[in-house]
Chains A and B, each alone.
Chain A
Amino acid sequence: MGEKIRIKGRAEWPGIAEAEALVSPIPLEGFDNVDPAKGYTTERNHPLFKIPYEGKVLVFPSPRGSGGFMGYGRGKLPAAFVHTEGNTLSIACVMCARVPSMTDFETDPVPLIKTGDRVLVNADDGYIEITKK
Chain B
Amino acid sequence: MYLTDEEKRMLAGEKGFVPRLCMEYLVEMSGVAGAERLVELDGTADFHVPFTAMVPHYEFPIEELRKIAADGAHFALPTFANKGPCYGGTFVDGWEASGYAPHDEPDYHERAMQREWMELYIRMGLITTYSCAIYLAASYWPTPGQHCAWNESSAVPYCNAVLGGRSNIDGSFASAFLGKAPYYGMHITENRYATVVIDTERKIQTDIEWDVLGFAVGEECRLAVPALIHTGKPTTTQYQKFNTAANTGGSIAMYHVPGSTPEAPTLEFALGGKKPKREVMIDDAWLKRTYEKLNYHKGDSVEMVSLGCPHLNLVDLEKIARKLEGRKSKVPFWIMTVPTLYHQAEQLGYRKIFEDAGATFLSGTCPGAIGGIPDGVHALAVDAAKQAYYISGLFPDEDNTLDVFYGTQDDCIDAALAGRWHGEWR
Residues of A within 8 A of B (CB): 10, 12-13, 27, 29, 31-35, 42-45, 49-50, 61-67, 70, 74, 85-89, 91-92, 94-96, 98, 101, 104
Given A32-B391, A44-B392, A92-B29, list of 19 further CB < 8 A pairs?
A12-B31, A31-B368, A32-B390, A32-B393, A33-B393, A44-B396, A49-B396, A61-B222, A65-B390, A66-B248, A67-B152, A86-B223, A87-B168, A92-B54, A95-B29, A95-B55, A96-B56, A96-B57, A101-B32
- The answer to whether A64 and B293 touch across the interface, beta carbons within 8 angstroms, is no
- The answer to whether B33 and A91 touch across the interface, beta carbons within 8 angstroms, is yes
- Listed stretches B97-105, B202-210, B249-257; interface member: B249-257
- The answer to whether B34 and A10 touch across the interface, beta carbons within 8 angstroms, is yes
- The answer to whether A85 and B393 touch across the interface, beta carbons within 8 angstroms, is no
Most buried by A among B54, B251, B368, B396: B251
- The answer to whether B248 and A95 touch across the interface, beta carbons within 8 angstroms, is no
Whole-angstrom CA separation of A64 from B216 in the bound complex: 13
The minimal Cβ–Cβ distance linking B218 to chain A, given in whole angstroms, is 7
- The answer to whether B396 and A50 touch across the interface, beta carbons within 8 angstroms, is yes
- The answer to whether B55 and A96 touch across the interface, beta carbons within 8 angstroms, is yes
- The answer to whether B393 and A42 touch across the interface, beta carbons within 8 angstroms, is yes
- The answer to whether A65 and B247 touch across the interface, beta carbons within 8 angstroms, is yes
The minimal Cβ–Cβ distance linking B192 to chain A, given in whole angstroms, is 13
- The answer to whether B34 and A44 touch across the interface, beta carbons within 8 angstroms, is no
A selection of 25 A-B contacts at a CB cut-off of 8 Å is A12-B34, A32-B391, A42-B393, A44-B393, A62-B222, A62-B223, A62-B251, A64-B247, A65-B247, A65-B251, A65-B390, A66-B153, A66-B154, A70-B54, A85-B222, A88-B169, A88-B170, A92-B55, A92-B170, A95-B32, A95-B55, A96-B55, A96-B56, A96-B57, A98-B57
Whole-angstrom CA separation of A34 from B394 in the bound complex: 9
Choose among A49, A65, A67, A95 the residue that contacts B28 (Cβ–Cβ < 8 A).
A95
Whole-angstrom CA separation of A78 from B101 in the bound complex: 34
Closest 6 CB pairs between A and B? A33-B393, A42-B396, A32-B393, A66-B153, A32-B390, A42-B393
Whole-angstrom CA separation of A44 from B398 in the bound complex: 12
- Write the chain B residue with the least CB distance to A73: B55
Whole-angstrom CA separation of A84 from B48 in the bound complex: 28
Report chain B residues within 8 Å CB of A101: 32
Choose among B29, B247, B368 the residue that contacts A91 (Cβ–Cβ < 8 A).
B29
Report chain B residues within 8 Å CB of A29: 248
- Write the chain A residue with the least CB distance to B170: A88
The minimal Cβ–Cβ distance linking A62 to chain B, given in whole angstroms, is 5
B145 near A: Cβ within 8 Å? no
Q: Given A42-B396, A49-B396, A88-B170, A64–B248 Cβ distance below 8 Å? A: yes
Choose among B31, B153, B396 the residue that contacts A65 (Cβ–Cβ < 8 A).
B153
Whole-angstrom CA separation of A88 from B218 in the bound complex: 16
Report chain B residues within 8 Å CB of A87: 168-169, 185, 223, 251, 253
Whole-angstrom CA separation of A104 from B389 in the bound complex: 29
Whole-angstrom CA separation of A47 from B132 in the bound complex: 30
B151 near A: Cβ within 8 Å? yes
Whole-angstrom CA separation of A27 from B220 in the bound complex: 11
Whole-angstrom CA separation of A31 from B54 in the bound complex: 13
Most buried by B among A45, A67, A104: A67
- The answer to whether B169 and A89 touch across the interface, beta carbons within 8 angstroms, is yes
Report chain B residues within 8 Å CB of A10: 34
